[in-house]
Amino acid sequence: MRVLTAKDVMNPEVVTVRDDLTVAELAEFLVDNEISGAPVEDADGHLVGVVSLTDLAAWETAREVVLPDRGSADYYLRGWEDRWNSEDLTGLRIGDAERTVGEIMTPTILGIDEEATIPQVAQKMIDGHVHRLLVLRGRRVVGIVTTTDLLGLLVEDGSVRAAS
C-alpha cells in the first residue's frame, strides 16, 4: 500500500488575495469562493501572509478571538453552506471600510513539502494551530491542503461516518 502524501490530497488551485484588498472586499471574496481563508500576495505577487475569517473576526472585535469548540467531527462534515454563508458576515460592522487585508493578516506562512506524509501534514497543522498549509515544491507553491481535505480522507476510508 502506497503512503499518501500532501500532493495526493492538495488542491492545486491556490486562491490568493492581495494585501491591498479592503476587509469588506475580503469578506465578500471569502463567501463568494466558499473558503475560510487564503494566502496573501503583495502587488509584486510575493506571498506575504495568510488571512482567514479568524483574522477578520479578531480585527472586527478588536480583541483576541477565542475559537469556538469544533471538537465534533460533525462541524467538519457539514457543507460550506451549513457553516458559513453571507448572512454570517452580514452583521459584521465594517466600521473602517478602508482597512486592508495587509493590516489584519497573519504575516506568517506555513508550508510543507509536497512529499510530506499525511501524518506529517496533520502534525504540522496541529503544531501550528492552523487549518491550511501551502504545499511546496522547493520554494514554489504548488497547492494547498486544508483540514477539510484531511477529514475527507477519513470519510472516504470509512473511518468516520456521518450521523444518520
For residue 3 the three cell numbers come to 503512503
Confidence of residue 142 (pLDDT cuts 50, 70, 90): very high
Rounded CA separation 19/26 (Å): 10
Look at residue 98 in the predicted model and tell me its pLDDT.
75
6-157 topology per CATH: CBS-domain (3.10.580)
Look at residue 134 in the predicted model and tell me its pLDDT.
94
pLDDT in tens, 104-119: 998 988 999 999 999 9
Put simply, whether the predicted model's pTM sits higher than 0.85 gets the answer no
Rounded CA separation 95/125 (Å): 32
Look at residue 21 in the predicted model and tell me its pLDDT.
95
- Residue 95 CB burial class (10 angstroms; 0-12, 13-18, ≥19): exposed
Confidence check: pLDDT of 135 > 50 = yes
pLDDT in tens, 7-66: 999 999 999 999 999 988 998 899 899 888 999 999 998 889 999 888 887 777 763 434
* Across 67-72, average pLDDT: 45
In the chain, domain spans: 6-157
pLDDT in tens, 75-102: 444 444 454 444 455 445 555 567 899 9
